[in-house]
Structure 1
Amino acid sequence: MSERNDPSTGGLDAYIEAAAGLLAIPLDPAWIGAIGSNLAVLRTAAAHVAEFSLPDEAEAAPVYEA
């Protein structure tokens, strides 16, 4: 079983198909690979953000206005 379809690694192909069905988005099967690649990159980036620890004293930034 490939990593893309292995449930223990996220099963991105199954997720993509389920999300497209849930949101009623027409999905060309030729795009599943590209969508999966983008989601894999986003998942890696999100993991880096999630593992960055902040001190307890950290406060949310105020709303930025240019």
Structure 2
Amino acid sequence: MDDHLDDYMNAVARTMALPLEDAWRPAVRANLEVALRLARLVDDFPLPDDLASAAVYST
């Protein structure tokens, strides 16, 4: 997993022309790990097949 995150960080930094200093890498990796863990929770949440999206959103 670490190799994939390193590859991802390098690719995104290169694509966006962002500097990615070595000192920042642990914090960026930690943030990505948390984001991936949260995304997995959402992705794994079971939803019924007949669920329809809301037609109107309001606050």
Superposition TM-score, scaled by structure 1 size: 0.73
Unaligned runs of 5+ residues in structure 1 are 6-10
Q: What is the match of residue 30 of structure 2? A: 37
Which of 23, 35, 42 is residue 49 of structure 1 equivalent to?
A: 42
Give the CA RMSD over aligned residues: 1.6
Choose between structure 1 and 2: higher helix proportion. 2
Which residue among 2, 5, 14 is the counterpart of 1:4? 2
Q: Which has the higher contact order (CA 8 A, sep 6+)?
A: 2
Shift, 1:21, TM fit: 0.3
Q: How many residues align?
A: 59
Using the TM superposition, give the Cα deviation of residue 4 of structure 1 relative to its aligned residue in structure 2, in angstroms. Answer: 1.7
What is the percent sequence identity of the aligned residues? 39
Give the match for residue 16 of structure 1. 9
